Amino acid sequence: MALNSTAYVILGLLDGSQRTGYEIKQIVDRSTRFFWTASYGQIYPELGRLEAAGLVEGTERSQGERKRKEYRLTPAGRQELQAWLRLAPEVLETRDEALLKLFFAGSLPDAAPKALEHKRRLHAEKLARLREIEPAVAEHATPYQYATLRFGIALSEFCVRWCEEALEELPGDGEPSNRTKRRTA
């Protein structure tokens, strides 16, 4: 059937519960966002395509004047989700701007500690957000969903620690004006 990744996020979130596009977006933002994002501009058109393909089914649940369309998985949609789950995952990508700046830190004095400090801060912020949602996930989500969260937490902790250690090991650390290493190769 060749669906895109957003489609599987939607199918997965609809398995067992009926949800609106808005609710799907809310859940993504509080859970999969940390390793897989989706925007309204993807979710709403994709819901339409999935409905046309018979993988989800939408029901109007408008209360009064307020429109609201709840989607649920069809048997075909569930099969599609399971078929995807059986395939070996391939995508494993990262975009880390702080690391890119560290990579090029030879082009500007003092860029390395700055990059490491910022990287540390970004991981610490992510860690804080993950810890915030932890109690709710531990109670309400599946053990697998909780496992992905614990992975995110452990990973962020590791990254924060690594940055701190790298900052300490940096030659000339502490003393701000001591910038030696330069490069022209």
Partner DNA sequence: GACTTCATGTAATAAGTTACATGATTCA
Partner DNA sequence: TGAATCATGTAACTTATTACATGAAGTC
- Residues forming the site for a copy of itself (CB under 8 A): 5, 8-9, 12, 15-17, 31-32, 34-37, 78, 81-82, 84-86, 88-108, 111-112, 114-115, 118-119, 122-123, 126, 140, 142-145, 147-148, 151, 154-155, 158-159, 162, 166, 181, 183-185
Residue burial 149-170, b: 16+ Cβ < 10 Å; e: rest? beebbebbeebbeebeebbeee
Is 38 an interacting residue with respect to DNA (CB under 7 A)? yes
What's the DSSP call for residue 104? T
Is 84 an interacting residue with respect to DNA (CB under 7 A)? no
Give Cα separations from 159 to 87, 128, 162 (angstroms): 30, 13, 5
Interatomic CA distance for residues 78 and 16, integer angstroms:
10
Q: Given the complex with DNA, which of 40 and 151 has the nearer CB atom?
A: 40
Nearest to 150 by CA among 138, 168, 139: 138
Do residues 46 and 14 make contact, with C-beta atoms less than 8 angstroms apart? Answer: no
Does an H or E element contain 166, and which?
helix 143-169
Q: Draw the binding track, 155-174, toward DNA (x: CB under 7 A; -: no contact).
A: --------------------
Matching residue, tokens 């902790």 = 157
Contact region with DNA (CB under 7 A), list: 59-67, 105-113, 145-153, 158-166:
59-67
Interatomic CA distance for residues 79 and 77, integer angstroms:
5
Cβ at position 60, least distance to a copy of itself in Å: 24
Q: Which two tokens stand for residue 66?
A: 């307020």
Contact partner at residue 45 from DNA, a copy of itself, none, CB < 5 to 8 Å by partner kind: DNA
Contact partner at residue 20 from DNA, a copy of itself, none, CB < 5 to 8 Å by partner kind: DNA
Contact partner at residue 105 from DNA, a copy of itself, none, CB < 5 to 8 Å by partner kind: a copy of itself
Is 47 an interacting residue with respect to DNA (CB under 7 A)? yes
Q: Which residues bind DNA (CB under 7 A)?
A: 4-6, 20-23, 26, 37-42, 44-45, 47-48, 63-70, 95
